[in-house]
Each structure stands twice: as C-alpha cells, then as structure tokens.
Amino acid sequence: MKIGGLIYVMLKVIEKELNLNEIENISELENEEYNKFVDRIVKANKEIFVLYVLANKPMCGYDVIKEIFLRTHVFLNQGTVYPLLYSLEEEGILCAEFTRGNMRSKLYSIAIEQSETIQKKIELFVKAVEFIPNFFKW
C-alpha cells in the first residue's frame, strides 16, 4: 500500500469505529476527554507521525510541527521534535540538507534506502490502530 493511501485508511477506521458525526455532537467536557486521548496517541507515537509527514514532503522542524498540528490539533513541543529529527538523521533514517538561499533551516526527508522500511513501519502502525477498535467490540 502506498503511504499516501495509509492516511485514508486511518481516517476510515476512525470514522467507522468512532463515528465522527457523533463526536461532533458530544459535550464540551467529553470533547476535552476525546482530545486528551488523541493527544496521548499522537505524542506516544510521534516518531510515526513525523516519519509520515516527511514521507510525503521534505520539511524543516517547524513545518513538521505545524503539519502535525493542522492534521491532528496536537502540538508536539519543539523539545521533543528536534531531538527526534537529529536522532533519526544520525541513525541514517532521515537526510537533512540546507535549502538554497537559506542556510539557517534544514529540510528533512526520508533516506531513499530507508523508504521501504518506513513505509512498512507506518503500515504496521495503521494495522495496530485498526486492531484496537476490535477490542471494544468484545
């Protein structure tokens, strides 16, 4: 499965299992609780979310944080994202380069030789997400 299609599957799973229409009608208190769950899921799996956005487009740390916030409404703090980017770069999972005319900001992308592994990792994460709602049908 292409990475681009994975987000579609994830959204479908969430839509189907959690029923987003109902979520729109939940009270403010429940909404707060819901946001806390989403916040925990994204923060606990931040590496997957970071890798996913970078698999779609090379970005700098600022844009990675912004993109994840736009998609999930979860703000990943700078102190967690930048060390992660540096660490993934050191491990050879990410490549970093300065953009032309901007020597102050590095653009990160998935290393070509790692793209298949990363794609598989994201697929496994989606599978795990799909598995969780099954527990609640029990």
* Residue recorded with tokens 């681009």: 4
**Which is closer to another protein, CB of 63 or CB of 130?**
63
Tally the C-alpha atoms within 13 A of residue 28's C-alpha that lie toward its C-beta: 0
**Which is closer to another protein, CB of 14 or CB of 75?**
75
Q: Catalog residues that contact another protein under the rule CB under 8 A.
A: 60-62, 77-80, 82-84, 86-87, 104-106
Q: Least separation, in Å, of the C-beta of 102 and another protein? A: 9
Q: Least separation, in Å, of the C-beta of 84 and another protein? A: 7
Q: Least separation, in Å, of the C-beta of 104 and another protein? A: 4
**Which is closer to another protein, CB of 81 or CB of 118?**
81
**Which is closer to another protein, CB of 62 or CB of 131?**
62
Q: Least separation, in Å, of the C-beta of 83 and another protein? A: 4
Residue 99 β-bridge partners: 102
